[in-house]
Structure 1
Amino acid sequence: MNFWRPSGQGFGALGEGELFLFKLHAPHHFIVGGGFFARAVRLPLTLAWDAFREANGVPDQDVMRRRIAHYRRTPLEPHANPEITCLLLAEPFFFPREQWIPVPESFKSNIVVGKGYATDEADGRALFDAVTERLQAQVDHALEVLPATEAAVSARFGAPRTVRPRLGQGAFRALVTEAYARRCAVTGEKTLPVLEAAHVQPYAQGGPHAVENGLLLRSDLHRLYDQGYVTVDPDDRRLIVSPRIREEFDNGRHYYALEGQALAPPERGFRPVSRERLLFHAEQVYRG
């Protein structure tokens, strides 16, 4: 999910894997669900919409643009592409009406941007226990228990611990785009509409939605990478172009010019692609 803010300002209230809870607007002072914080990034409207679609909480991109203009109190042109702050949430959950949690008395009615709680404080611990008790009921009926949810439930009777939540496709795309500074990891191309987040080890073959399993690639290179016509050497991290492009299509001069191009590393604070994932692609996907 993308819990977005229209301002484009930074957000440092939470660390990866910490709980982010949803409170209804007044007069309904209840907590009705939440998710696990992954990261805050600034994204242009078009990318936020393409990555999350209706998980932005609106039915279409035009409505989202109008919402941004409303909250900013500034008119936007019909094709404006403003940057917004995106709080990426993973493993979201919602409670049935009978399990809604009344907000603590310390959450004053004039608070409009949220409030943080710590589990070593009475209100924070009571809230954490109420949330994890309800999560336990969901876990008991789930076919699969996700990692951050499992860690939260297991901490009900001990010290809470945070675990990296499992990302969805939208968060994967947003984070890989941010990790590579909106540039193709091979060519350096910066035209955002043609940049795509590629899985190194394909998702269908066990590869996770994780930055260390992702590369930001120009769309044509992404297709070639997915189909095994190019790969990256796991050791020297340089591009390898398959001779099959020439053999099958009698073309490919532009791609052969990229042979040996060094893979750009991600920005500081992001994990680089693991050798294990690169090796999987080179051995299991690449058509040399």
Structure 2
Amino acid sequence: MSDVAGFKAWSFLITGDERQFQGNDGYEDVAEESYSYDSTVGNYRRVKPGDLVVVRNSYEALGVGYIEELETVPDQEKLRSRCPACRSTNFKERTTEKPRFRCSQCGTKFGQPKEELIRVTTFRAHYGGSWQPLEGCLDKNQLAEISLSRSDQQSIKAMDLERTLIAIAACGVRLPPQQGPAKPRRQHPLELPGGRRRTTTAARLGQDAFRRALVHQYGMICAATGPSPAETLEAAHIRPFARTERHRVEEGVLLRADIHRLFDSGLLTFSTDFKVCIAPSLFGHPTYMALQGNRMHLPERAVLDRDAVKEHHSLTTSTW
């Protein structure tokens, strides 16, 4: 089912090296806020406010949200490039060979494309108010399974709405209620705070890659509390990194920031049968006490190292 209650689902290919514009100059996108395109892009007429969009690059899904506003600016001038032989816009730049370009349509190699000015309508879809990061929870192959298009380079691809929502929910991602067309609620600034600070702390090499690997393995799910916003989830080492200085997915879990603090402080651990154990000193805190004895939130494909879990449990509970 690709259409539920009049709404549709799309995947948007972001700008940059991954987005092949061929004869176009490209667009300026702020991935977590908005997406720009024009009337030369396939499916441009079909995208509407209220539709679900998955923003992707060539490898994975970056995030998801509902379109809250669709800006339209008609009669804009745009420079477009074509193959000088067949006038196709389907050509690519070659970085190591000469001539610089090769036409995918007719095979002609050339140094400079033929340029022309055309009139287009430009669009900018805003979805920042409902944006939820995916950070690679769905990879290219998983996206292909819920796509209604076979093209890898199509900038705007139709998705199966029902299957997309199911896939997102399975990753632990929780979208706010769909409001349909509404006033924009842009939550993300276009300019982030800057400045510098001096620090002498040692950085953990590979920590970002470790978190990404855990997100791909478990989705946006805290092992102790369940589905959580991406911004609250941290990569936790069951065997302390300070001792091993290595990142093993089998020895890692995603934990909400406060749970991670308790885990590293010896106030929370997991039993060998994968249940949450809370230190007696926390029994006066109902929020954490309610987790006592709950089963860990792990998928069937979990690769958690039982020996590491047993070791952490034994060392942690010995101090209670």
TM-score, normalised with respect to structure 2: 0.38
Greater helix share, 1 or 2?
1
Greater strand share, 1 or 2?
2
Larger radius of gyration: 2
